[in-house]
């Protein structure tokens, strides 16, 4: 579904994404982990065509993201950036409704409204739907942005740190929703997360990045081991098995 072929992105002299090769199958949830500045967000932005490639290619569903028309891609890829700052004043419902734009082109149908209502419900925003985003808390705002992405109803969902600002309850609910999107709706979900255990618990596949390159990838049990994680983060990490599942701990 997502094929990254030797993708390169340079800023000045620095290759922040340095010849990444990835092939993610259709369906399933992939987590990208790695230290700050590893190039996770940049890689996700390259796939979402929000940042231009300096080398290599990215194919989504066989479509080259640099040459395919943007409105065609908008019906296949939805992306959430790590930081979302709006200068304008919009309500939650406005924002989520704009997620339907690729389908409705501004003429919202009853079906679109159904999607909007479902996404709002899904992210527990029912009581906040008509509030302005600039008058809400960070976590509430984060959920609204994710609702917008879900509302776009694309086969591919790219979410850069969707758990930002979320309390444990909403974080768990978010991951469960994304898991359900992959399992029940067959979506291809890619998330960037910093919590290794969340990645281990919810993903089918984990990609560990460092210095613009993919260091390891594989199923959770292959990546969640002390050698790999210590190497990726440059920090001693030990892995314990709790209730039959691997758990990384990194406090000394």
Partner 1 sequence: MPRLGVVAGAVGLLALVSLFVGVGDVTPVDLARAVVGGDSAERHDLLLLLVSRVPRTIAIILAGAGMAIAGQIMQLLSRNRFVEPSTAGTVESAAIGILAVTVLAPGAPVIVKMIVATCTALAGTALFLRILRYVPLRSVLVVPLVGLMLGGIINAVTTFFAYRLDLLQSLNVWMTGDFSGVLRGRYELLWLTFALTVLAFVVADRFTVAGMGQDFVTTLGMNYRAVLALGLSIVSMVTAVVVVTVGAIPFLGLVVPNLVALIFGDNLRRTAPWVALGGAGFVLVCDLVGRTVRYPYEVPIGVVVGVVGSALFLVMLLRRDARVA
Pick between residue 15 and residue 81 the one whose CB is nearest to partner 1. 81
Burial of 190 (0-12, 13-18, 19+ CB in 10 A): buried
Task: Specify the DSSP class assigned to residue 220.
Answer: H
Determine if 84 is a binding residue for Mg ion (CB under 5 A): no
Determine if 41 is a binding residue for Mg ion (CB under 5 A): yes
CB of 17 to ligand ATP, least distance (A): 7
Pick between residue 16 and residue 174 the one whose CB is nearest to ligand ATP. 16
Beta-carbon contacts of 101 under 8 Å, excluding residues fewer than 6 positions away, are: 74
Q: Which of 150, 149, 8 is nearest to 66 (CA)?
A: 8
CB of 45 to ligand ATP, least distance (A): 8
Strands (E), 175-237: 188-192, 205-210, 213-218
Beta-carbon contacts of 67 under 8 Å, excluding residues fewer than 6 positions away, are: none
Pick between residue 45 and residue 154 the one whose CB is nearest to ligand ATP. 45
Which of ligand ATP, Mg ion, partner 1, none does residue 16 bind to, with CB < 5 to 8 Å depending on kind? ligand ATP
What is d(CA 59, CA 63) in angstroms, rounded to the nearest whole number? 5
Which of partner 1, Mg ion, ligand ATP, none does residue 90 bind to, with CB < 5 to 8 Å depending on kind? partner 1
Q: How many residues bind partner 1 (CB under 8 A)?
A: 29
Pick between residue 51 and residue 172 the one whose CB is nearest to partner 1. 51
């Amino acid at each position: 579904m997502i094929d990254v072929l030797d993708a390169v992105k340079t800023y000045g002299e620095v290759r922040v994404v340095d010849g990444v090769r990835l092939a993610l199958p259709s369906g399933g949830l992939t987590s990208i982990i790695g230290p700050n500045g590893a190039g996770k967000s940049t890689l996700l932005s390259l796939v979402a065509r929000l940042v231009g490639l300096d080398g290599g290619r990215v194919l989504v569903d066989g479509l080259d993201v640099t040459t395919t028309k943007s409105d065609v891609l908008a019906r296949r890829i939805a992306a959430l950036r790590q930081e979302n700052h709006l200068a304008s004043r919009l309500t939650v419902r406005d924002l989520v409704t704009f997620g339907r734009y690729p389908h409705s082109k501004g003429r919202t149908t009853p079906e679109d409204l159904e999607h909007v209502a479902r996404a709002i419900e899904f992210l527990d925003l029912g009581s906040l739907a008509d509030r302005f985003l600039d008058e809400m808390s960070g976590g509430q705002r984060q959920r609204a942005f994710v609702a917008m992405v879900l509302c776009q109803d694309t086969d591919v969902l790219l979410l850069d740190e969707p758990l930002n600002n979320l309390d444990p309850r909403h974080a768990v609910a978010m991951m469960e929703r994304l898991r359900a999107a992959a399992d029940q709706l067959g979506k291809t979900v890619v998330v960037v997360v910093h919590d290794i255990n969340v990645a281990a618990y919810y993903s089918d596949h984990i990609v560990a990045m460092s210095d613009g390159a993919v260091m390891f990838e594989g199923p959770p049990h292959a990546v969640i081991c002390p050698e790999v994680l210590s190497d990726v983060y440059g920090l001693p990490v030990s892995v314990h098995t709790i209730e039959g599942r691997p758990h990384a701990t990194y406090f000394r």
